[in-house]
Structure 1
């Protein structure tokens, strides 16, 4: 990944006011329910000369899940899903970043409920740009999906007409703005 001797490698940190970690899942086969995590941190070592040599770590407070519905959020924090009492943090650590056309493919280890799986996300990188205060910023957009059952979140209920309350696949949409550190 990154090389400590590369002069082009710089540390970037999350600019939270312009960042989000969101997800969506089908509910009862007919509607999509969306949510987000309110508390997360990102640190990245960015090789500005060769983005493929960059790396990042994302840490998400599991209890910060927010679907705008208190009862649902409580259920998602329970042992049926995130089990925040025993697993207070979700993490994503990059393994590799590869060019994909004019965009990027980001592979990394996602850990949820103590289970780690490699996840591949499609990405787009913008910048770096100089902000009005002289700082350097990079934007990263990532999308992908994970199967919740692979992380031990197997709760579901059958519908009378067939099918289940929840789909297995969870779509991810991540928008990150990073600020270069001094």
Structure 2
């Protein structure tokens, strides 16, 4: 996006839940890909277009809002994998932002799942959306076992440890 000037992006933004997609994808060893999403979340960002390193992002996801299209699997995810009774929120808080190009950023931060916080880094592309909204898109692979997202020994063998997080984040001023 050659006409994007990052200085123009400076400001406070909130995530638009109607146009943001927080999804995941993993492989079941005896079946197809398992795709899902989270439907309830909120977040904010402070973007510094003059110095992106001063930018910050925070997101809180209601873990119980997980949806895969299979009610029985969703309940297993809520109760056994995510333990939403004890850990109702999945959180991300940035610790650094680096501009990689005119419309490309690397965001590092702490991802907290099941009370365990681990660092992750995600590269995001930026484009303008409708009504001056900003849309950031990217994906990152994470090893779910590092956050204790597992049920029992059998599921650690039947489900891939790697989960791809797919992000399409719409931020509005």
Under TM normalisation by the shorter chain, which class is it?
0.7 to 0.9
Runs of 5+ consecutive residues of structure 1 not aligned to the other structure? 1-7
Kindly tell me the number of residue pairs found equivalent between the two proteins. 166
Equivalent residue number for residue 93 of structure 1: 93
| Alignment-derived partner of residue 178 in structure 1 | 171
Please give the root-mean-square deviation of Cα atoms over the aligned residues, in Å: 2.4
Q: 5+ unaligned residues in a row in structure 2: which ranges?
A: 1-8
Say which SS state the counterpart of residue 82 (structure 2) adopts. coil
| CA–CA distance in structure 2, aligned partners of residues 117 and 85 of structure 1 | 21
**Matching residue of 2:6:** none
Q: Counterparts of 1:96 and 1:142 in 2: how far apart (Å)? A: 16
Structure having the larger proportion of residues in helix: 2
Q: Which residue of 2 aligns with 1:150?
A: 146
Contact 1:156 1:164 in 2 (8 A): no
Q: How does 1:23-38 map to 2 (within 5 A)?
A: 23-28=24-29, 31-38=32-39
TM-score w.r.t. length of structure 2: 0.86
Worse-matched range after superposition: 66-75 or 25-34: 25-34
Q: What is the CA distance between 1:157 and its match in structure 2?
A: 5.5
**SS at structure 1 position matched to 2:50:** coil
Structure having the higher Rg: 1
How far does residue 142 in structure 1 lie from its aligned partner after superposition?
2.2
